Structure formats: structure tokens, C-alpha cells
Structure 1
Amino acid sequence: MPEPRTFRDEPVSFVRRSGRMSEAQDRAFVDLAPQYLVDVPRDVAWTSVHPDARLDPAAEYGRDADLYVEIGSGQGHAIVAAASARPDDDFLAVEVFRAGLARTMLDADRAGARNLRVVEANAPEVLASFLPEAAAREVWIFFPDPWHKKRHTKRRLIRDGFGDAAARAIRDGGLLRLATDWEDYALQMREVLDADPRFERAFDGEWAERFKGRVMTAFERKGLAKGRDIRDLVYRRKPRA
């Protein structure tokens, strides 16, 4: 019998932080979790996903609708704005930081966005197994941690092998949208996805135009304030064979 794993096989793209939450955020996990927080069976770590666990979108949202997934949703500004403006679509926020998920639930509740759910889990595991195959109309990854020190770049989310999970989760013709303010990470994203035979560019020129559906967040403002260019990319999932 094989030895049980004691931790993940791959480095994660985050460092688990236990930042103190406000009283309102603590209440959100008591009062709002039943409406918004998806219960995820765990594997080897608190943010892991058991390989046999599967999300049932129709059961979770109570209908069949296009599903949009944001990876690393932070405080939830982009996805709450989208869910509020587009009630006919469903949205899933994937984040590991509990304070950000609490803020997302609070803002969604205030906006009356009942078409949004949140998942506290490691994003590659959500894409690779928890979502049904071809479940997502679009996957958004805006301003992921750049891990800009050379010794840490192996932790970047968009690296060799990422296309396996992303291509599995996105439907044929669906989109993968990315944005970053770190030039070398943007170049790495483009190199990884240009080389993946399951994706094709959905933009002309060197970079994609700014995605109009992305609201301005603190991360983007911070990058602009430091004089960094914001670079967008968008790739289309090619038809499955």
C-alpha cells in the first residue's frame, strides 16, 4: 500500500496568513456562509480539495447558467461588481484568505448578489478536480502574486503545467483572462499559454486591451502609482478533440 501524503506535491502560490478579522467579518462567516460559502471536503491541508470532491453548479446555484470563476478574488471587488450587474450569470470566487472571503460575502449581501459563491481553497485544485470538466465560461486571474524574487518564481500560479488545470475547467470556446502589473510575469504568462496547444490568443498585437469587465482595484492602483504598466492577456480554449 502506498504511503499517505503528508503535504501537497506542488508548491502553492500563496503563504497562508491568519490575519485578524474584524467583528463584521467574523459575523459574516456565521451569518452569510450558509448562503455563499461552498463546503469543500479537504485532502492534506486546510486549503486543499479532496480529489473525489466535485462541485454541482446546478445544485449549488439552483439553476443552469454560465459560470464565471475568479481565481484569487481578494476582497471580491471585481466579482461582486460583475455578479451584481449580471444576474443571469453565475460567479464563483476562489480565495485562500478568509478576511477577503468575508469581505466578499458582506459586499455581495449588501448588493443583493445571490448568484455568487465563494470557495476557500487552493486554486489549481479547484480547476483540476473540484469544478466539473468544461464547467467555466470564463476564468479570471487578475493580479496574482508575482513572487518577484528569483528564488520564489516557482511559486507563481501561471507556470509550466498550469494549462492542464485551466484547459480542463474551461469549456470549448471559453476564455481565460489575465492581468498583471509585473512585466516579467506577464511575459511568463504569455510564454506558457502561447506554448499550450489547447489555447489560442484572443487578442491582436503584443497585449490584449484592458478588460472592460475588470473594476479598478487597490492592486491595480498600486501598480499604476509605482509607474508599472498593466498588461492584459486573454486566451480562448480550443475545441476538445
Structure 2
Amino acid sequence: MTDSQTPTDLPVEASEHPRRAIRSFVMRAGRMTDAQKRGIDVGWPKFGLDLEHGMLDLDVLFGRQAPRTLEIGFGMGQSLLEMAAAAPEQDFIGVEVHRPGVGSLLNGVLNAGLSNLRVFDCDAIEVLDKTIPDASLDRVLLFFPDPWHKKKHNKRRIVQLDFAEKLRQKLKPGGVFHMATDWEAYAEQMLEVMSAAPGYRNLAPDGTYIPHPEERPVTKFERRGERLGHGVWDLKFERVD
């Protein structure tokens, strides 16, 4: 999730239109650079995925058996690109609705010559429901999702009990859901929700947050926040059944 997603998809009265589900994101248009356009034009045919593919056979998709990571809301894609480049023995799938971010990541994949990354540009919930087999993922990453900091919008936060259960089904036993946020109130909600979610175990020894893990790249945004004294909270929960 990125700050390119804004709260405009509110429910409407049934008397006017059919009620729509509350979403944790809304797509917002953005101007594309030449590099991002190249990513879409050249990279998408090679690495792009659509819901129309249906339930994926990940071994066929990547041409091998390997540990699999799904990142939800990769923003401009720099962290995901770094992780995929640093672990060529692993496979990665990214989901992002912000088209310039998708183009940026794909351009980076082309420049780096990577083959272990695939990309969706649609709703992560639909991706999970329609394309990701149960018990197929080793990790799910959710880094700096939109905090929806206004109390009336808290219900849009993606980390809720039903979302935790959906992810649990997609993770292998022993698979890990890794979250990070720079909003303390959201970190507290993540901890509360995940502690109550069945089938998970908090990997923090004290039952709260973990130190910054080496495998999560530090973004420019995060470094700027650290200079301003902002905190960052990481949480890891393991599927135990």
C-alpha cells in the first residue's frame, strides 16, 4: 500500500446503488516517466499477471520449486526489487494498484535482468481469492500500508481479522506474515488483531515487536522519517496450523 491510495470508495445507500465493499485502497492516476512507460510496455508482457490467469501453478509460473514471497502494496517497488535481486534462489510476487509504481518496478526488473519476480496491478484481495493457491506462500509482506489515520477511516485498514484468516490460508504452515508501519497507533492495532487471530504465533520474544530485520530494505522514505525522529514498528507472525 502507498500514499497514492485515497479514501473515496465509501459505501452508498442501497436505495441509490448496490452497496459496494469497503476497500483499503483507491487507485489514483499519476504521471508516468519514460522509464515507467518502458517498464509497462516491455516488462509487463514478460512479468505481468492478470486475474484472468485464474488459480496459478507457481512451480509452472516460475519454472522451478522455490520459497515464495508475496508483497502487498509495493509502492514504487524499490524494496521488492532489492529483495528479489538479493535472493535469486527465491521467487517473488508483488501487488500494487499505482500504475507508475508498477512501471517503476518492472523497469528495474528489466535493468537488473531478474527472472524471479512477477507483478499484479489489481486489488490484493482479488489476487488472494482468485490466483494464489492455499498453503503456497512462505512469506507475505505488508510494508507501510496506508494508515487511514482518521478514526472514521480506521475500518479501511487492511489488517483486520478476516484479512489475517485469508492470509493464513495462503501461507504454508510455518510461513510468516511480516508487517511494518511508521504509525504507532496502526502498529498497536496490527499487534492487537494478529494476537487475536487464530492459527498464528508472534515471533517477537516479548510478544510485541521485532527489531528491524536485515531482509527488509530501508527505503528513502524511512530514512527521512528516522532523521525526523519517527519510529518504525516491525511485526512477524508465523502460521502455526
**If the length of structure 2 is used for normalisation, what is the TM-score?**
0.87
- 1:150 corresponds to which letter in structure 2? K
CA deviations over 1:169-212 (Å, ceiling 9, x no partner): 11000101011010110000011110011111111123111121
- Determine if contact 1:223/1:229 at 8 Å carries over to the other structure: yes
* 1:44 alignment counterpart: none
The answer to whether structure 1 residue 186 and structure 2 residue 197 are counterparts is no
**Offset at 1:53?**
2.4
Structure 1 residues 78-157: aligned runs within 5 Å: 78-157=79-158
- 1:93 corresponds to which letter in structure 2? G
Find the partner of 1:17 among 11, 28, 32.
Answer: 28
Q: Could you tell me how far apart the structure 2 residues matched to 1:212 and 1:25 are?
A: 28
Q: Could you tell me how far apart the structure 1 residues matched to 2:182 and 2:19 are?
A: 29
The answer to whether structure 1 residue 29 and structure 2 residue 26 are counterparts is no
**Offset at 1:7?**
7.5
* 1:235 alignment counterpart: 237
**If the length of structure 1 is used for normalisation, what is the TM-score?**
0.87
The answer to whether structure 1 residue 77 and structure 2 residue 73 are counterparts is no
Q: Could you tell me how far apart the structure 1 residues matched to 2:86 and 2:189 are?
A: 32
Q: Give the length in aligned residue pairs.
A: 224
Q: Could you tell me how far apart the structure 2 residues matched to 1:210 and 1:173 are?
A: 20
- 1:160 corresponds to which letter in structure 2? L
> Residue 32 of structure 1 aligns to a residue in which SS?
helix
Q: Could you tell me how far apart the structure 1 residues matched to 2:223 and 2:148 are?
A: 19
* 1:49 alignment counterpart: none
Structure 2 residue ranges without an equivalent (≥5): 1-16
Greater shift in the superposed pair: 126-135 or 183-192: 126-135
- Determine if contact 1:136/1:169 at 8 Å carries over to the other structure: yes
**Offset at 1:146?**
0.4
Q: Could you tell me how far apart the structure 1 residues matched to 2:165 and 2:20 are?
A: 15
* 1:169 alignment counterpart: 170
- 1:228 corresponds to which letter in structure 2? H
Q: Could you tell me how far apart the structure 1 residues matched to 2:40 and 2:19 are?
A: 26
CA deviations over 1:7-55 (Å, ceiling 9, x no partner): 88531111210111112212221111111111222xxxxxxxxxx9212
CA-atom RMSD, angstroms?
1.8
- 1:40 corresponds to which letter in structure 2? L
> Residue 226 of structure 2 aligns to a residue in which SS?
helix
- Determine if contact 2:209/2:233 at 8 Å carries over to the other structure: yes
Q: Could you tell me how far apart the structure 2 residues matched to 1:133 and 1:9 are?
A: 26
Q: Could you tell me how far apart the structure 1 residues matched to 2:175 and 2:61 are?
A: 21
**Offset at 1:225?**
3.8
